[in-house]
Structure 1
Amino acid sequence: MTIQFTINNYTTQLGENLYIIGSLPELGENNIYKAIPLKFIDNKWQIQVHFKSIKSGTYKYFSNLNQDTYLRKLPIMPQNTTEILEISDDWSPQRTDPWYSEIYDIIQPKTQFKTSILDNLNPAVEFEEQRVIIRCFAAYEAGTLEISGSGNQLLNWSTRFKMNQIAPRTFELELLFEPQEEPFAFKFLRDGTYEAGPNRCFSYRPGVQVLNCFYRYDCIPLLRVAGISLVRTQFPLQKVEKMVDFAHSAGFKTIAFPCIHAVDSSFALDHAVFGLDDASVRAEFDRIPLFERVESTIQRVQRSTSLCYWLPGYAVYRAVQGDPDLLGSFATDREREGFISRVFFTEKRFQSAYFVAFEQLLLHELLETAVRYAHANGIFLTGEFSFTIPRKSHNLWQFGRFYTQGSQGAVDLEARTSCNLNCPVLNWGSLKEANYVFLQHQISQLEQYFKHVVLATSEQFFRTWEIPAECFRTNGRLGRFSPANPIQISSIPVHNPQRLVLPNLAISHLVPAVISREQGQRLVSLDILTVKGDSYEFQMSEKAACKLLHDQPVLQESVQKINGNRCMAPDLAYPLLNCHPLIQNQLQCSETAFFKSLSQAEQDVLRGISGNYFWNQHCCWIARGHERLQWLQGIGQVLFSCRGRSEHQFEAEFLKQGILLSNQFQFQGSSARGWMSLTESNISFRDSLLEQKFRVDEYIKSISGERNSQNSTKDKIKILMTEMLNSDSMITLVHLDDIISLADGTPLAHDLCSDARLCGRVQRLLAGAGREYGRRGE
């Protein structure tokens, strides 16, 4: 019997190939190295596999840049079946039970890629005529690729010749010429449009010649980071079509939206999301007849200049008036007006169940419209997952035990400074008992609209490590940031500065991929490693490890690999390789014969575009750990500047270090948080004109008590670091060693140590006692 596997609804990146693997011998017996590559035929990825029989079995898809973690069941088929079955799967099916394929159709075999001329070419045969095999690689998917040019064979630009597609994005055409002296010119056409740049020229030479070319675009394809380019947007959802059109024309594949709390967020009723400015909304609001007619015994709507006061009620009114059927059982006009009045004129409307219901409905409709338009244009949306929620969220009613008020926020500093404004935050203690149910619900909500979901803030990322690893081992929803087993949560104190930088060196599993046992024993003898149970423990701080690399080059390779294993997780495709849990590259060899025939420079460019650029930069990040201290210096300059550099520059610089935390430098929304425990109320706010203003100076004055003084940059850094070192903020403790290392050798170090409150803690760290500090969990 034969089964044709087909993937639907998946747009590949440059250099990305899809593979299938399964439990049966015909599918590689779940051996990643025996995976079968799918072929790109008729704008679909598919492959035919012949089976003797199928009594039971499973299969799954993955790519060299991404992984589909859904396990699927093979159909039961008797022996000697002659039919051809098609299994048509979605890459990430959104079904109640995603474990099985649903579509099995009997089909006829379809056209395969055309065979390359070089595959059947005998190099021993000599030809009198000139044979030119022209190949072209198109960085972005092309429906057709044609060639036109001068000379008799190309009919002097009067005709376009269609090239044969021999592989994804790879096209080929053979031309035969009589020996001539004059060169000929030609150009490629993609979907009927000539490529950019001057004409290409080719000179005749005897024999067979292969000409490898890259299709030229108006805009040179940018390097793809991990195969995905992001366009972050604060645009109104009604204007997402413009963003999609821009992303499509620029070659982007993904648009990253700011934080949307599932379908519970006030983001839905933000005037920026509505696409309405103050003047137009206020004018329309004043014309509402119901505003003058409704009688309310609680409170009449005030004619306030604050948009946030009356916009929620207006949004509900507008939704109901635009679609009367939304109310369902509220059929009559009288009942409808009564419903609106209860929402519109309720003093505590922000906690109103009526209002929340309409907010969810409105956001759902906006997102669905945006998703449909984006997918139709080959663009996918990426959302952000936030653990902190608005007070009116229905999650408080459904999962009340998971939330608390006050000191359990993402940044513990909020409890003392009242920065969280009594916003409900997660109760991490309760989450440890039933986090799977909660997280599965949250991610399922976001999966309705977004292809990928990322964590919204860096603080939440680090707090996530406190959640047991079991809650991440779902059917793939949380696989992209699965922490695997880099931290033994039960044995390491919560407030331990080393807790996120301890290498994962399980002797039974990871050490062979990091260092040999002989190297491990040698490092134990040098007091660099100690043995604890079935694992090694790294005895050095990151700064000490970097110093050791400098002082003892003979140990460089071993220590570098160990140091690079900090905060790493086993790769999904190659468990013996480690990478950052937010990265998890699937490095799969996919170099074709055509790829290997290119020059080294061209290969490097393609590797960069296809995603290996990210991995290479990550390796450089491992090798240059000491340079990460420069992050703090750069971040400090950003926090104390009025505008700073553009966000894209921040992301580009941070990605070069090999790690991406969503929203790391995002200061553009009301939900944005800073990196150093600065919350939204301290950093930025929106006035009625949507202008972004920064309140760093006000924050510094508030924590220093110097209301009327002007602080220099040095004083600001000192005050900020002083506040951080005295806080219990998780993000602060994680980077405590780096902060002290940054101050070491500068006048700032003396200032810090001279502070009576910090003298003991800082001096111990500067004296190299950071290891003891972390071990005691002080």
Structure 2
Amino acid sequence: MKIKFHLKYSTHLGENIFVVGDIPELGNGDKSKALPMQFFNESEWYVEFETKKKKFEYTYFVRNLKDSSIREEWAPHHFERHILSKNLIVRDFWNIPVLPQYNLGTTLFEEISSQFKSQNLRALKKNTHRFKIHFPVFNPHQVLLLTGNTPKLGEWNPERGIEMKPAGKNFWYIDVAMPALLCDFEYKYALYDKREKSVNFFETGANRIGHPVGAEDVQIYNDVCFRVPELDRWRLSGLAIPVFSIRTKESCGVGEFSDLKALGKWAKNAGFSLIQILPINDTTAHYSWLDCYPYAAISVFALHPMYLSLRELPYSLNKKEILSLEKKSKILNQSSGVEYEAVNQYKRDFTQKYFKRNWRKIARDKDFLSFKKNNKNWLIPYAVFSSLRDEYGTTNFEQWPAYQQPSEELMNCINDEQHLLHAAVNYYCFIQWILDMQLRDAVDFLHREGVGLKGDLPIGISRHSVDAWEHRELFHMNQQAGAPPDDFAVLGQNWEFPTYNWEKMKDDDYTWWKSRFQFMARYFDAFRIDHILGFFRIWQIPMYATQGILGYFEPALAFSDEELIERGVSLSIKRLTQPFVTKEILKQIFDKEFETAENKYFKTLEDEISLKEEFSTQRKIQQNLDSNHPHFEILMNLVANVLFIEDENRAEHFHPRFNLIETLSYQDLDEHHKHVLYLLYTDYFYHRNENFWKIKGLEKLPMLKKATNMLTCGEDLGMIPKVVPEVMQELAVLNLEIQRMPGRVDKLFTHPADSPYLCVVSPSSHDTSTLRQWWKENRAGIKFFYNQWMGHEGEPPQELSEPLQEEILHQHLFSPAMLSIIPIQEFLGIDSSTRNLKEDDERINIPSVFPHKWDYRMHISVEDLIENKKFTQKLNALNQKCGRIKGDIIQFWK
């Protein structure tokens, strides 16, 4: 058979297009042997070849002749030979991530369309044209319809249009005989309701163009992008809540995986399609409330033992265990927040005794043995790590005398009954088995209720984690990750995580990252990438610093000392990088304590004042001075009184300190250097690194996004380079829109109605104050919001009332965004029957306070919400009114 590929795609001067496939004629996957295409016109390329293969996969790519760089399309094309013709013309389009089939075809949506039974493609025989399009249809009463301006296509009359057939995952096709055509024709697709016998809507945009065929030709149109009208796009609503915050009458002092079932039942009745949770990985490092920070996991795979339900263990509880559980649950559930120490200690003691009593059954359980075998790559190292943590009382593996490095012999302790760690390792494997069963059971229940689950992928890992212990080469252990100063934290954030060795990760094709994504897909239908900026660059903080303000971007194009001189900087490196101290500054900041402070903290050499060695860095100040000491913050700020920070990985390269213009060191400069450093600072933070970061982001994100079929969302708040939204849009990663945190510096707020489709909108998050708290934080800002963004006149009320809070939520639910996911506290606040009288108890995290206790729990139980039918119906009506419950998706997950 002779095949001719036509590709619709516009290129730039110096670019050529090639096609590569898994057959010899197309290079057997080797790009160096790919077929070059010929230029047809400004938007079309073609290539012709012969093959006897009946089935193959192929992909187009563009090669730039100047730098040999390659740009590939997002997904491959699939060819199946069902054509009785000598000459076949295939008309393709370039596959890009923003095509609706890729996000609507993710796990979150795909089960909706699984109700269609695919039909095998048949030989075209006397037909001359095959029309094929990739697009999910969610309602069993709906099909795609083909219509056009020829008699065979109904002459634009929907009643005479051609009903298409399902063919494979989200594909539709139809064969048509149009041999007598003499000129091009026009056609379009429509969504047709067979029950109503009417068109729901035609695709928008210009008509598609078809072409006549020769006597022995057949044409296949592999169309893309069914253009859904804006008002008919599929939009879902969801609620956000950490698992630990869920309160049910069956839980034991903390939300548990099993509690997701009751929450999902209520969510369905309230009109929600999605539940979003925070990270659920094990964070047990101190056995105290300090372990509450969900973004400091000791394993990126293991689930947190506190989410285990003692009521749903695989073997029956005895009478003593039942009585103990009922008594302790009653006590723990009385707390308004999460009592981490009490909850985890009780569950640990309970499960250890249960494990010991049932060990013979567990050791023979085929499901348990299968779980260990299938997950051994991460499970055994985690179980050994946890056992050694218990043995030595710390997760800092540098303090484990004989086990600072893992070994094959150590991992084999799980099979060696004589080994001291044998029982403990099997215990931790058992706990993970139960957690996995309980979470998957909850997810299955949610799906049956028509509710999806969205997870959260932390950007960092704990410095003292099994991942760092086992894969030390993948991390820069001598650096700390954090975030630059912002509205959340004026001194920046130091998460104390090691930064990633991306070059090492690239060497094995990002295997560790892909494993994380694929493991999450075991439970989640969608996920949020925490701090997606980390895939472009991270805020890296030297180990000698404790505050984020002394960090710099990595990777970044730092200034060399030669460049600084060329740009007009004649100051010494010491003046640029060392804390600037003068007697005038000391008198200004210490006031009456000047002499005492000067003698205690400073030394003078040749009229130069500097900090004594024991106070020369923030880390040393922290070690030698109590944080409550009146001079502690003064010294910390003085150490940060620098203009540039030296790059620890590249000698004689320097990064401007964040907000250097506000330092006392800058204020002491002459006007020339003030002007020069201002220009350098602006260049570094807003121009110099933009394209460099775009290249870094595009190195990682496409490969990782392809590793899973979950719907991908990214948290992109804070100081965002303009290339980040560009790349996210290019890859169809949904961004996060928080109304009071606009991405533009010239705006105080955004309106949800202006949001793009591929985004998640919310009025708040776990890192912000709730709406009721925010209403009291900035009265001037609230007045502007109340008047301009809510359309009310006069002064705003002191308290955010239930109707006003509902009005704000209505704005978000009514927005064009694909997802509106709002913290459950905000929904509970719109009705007097569910509003928490203690509004400050509803805040989850204060980023500027570290460590902060994340202990929020719902003040009412999910069972009470289920019983409160009036409130539930109120939310359902709100979702209905805002178009978040549509007939097209009522079959969700059915």
TM-score range, shorter chain: 0.3 to 0.5
> Structure 1 length normalisation: TM-score?
0.37
Highest relative contact order (Cα 8 Å, sep 6+), 1 or 2?
A: 2
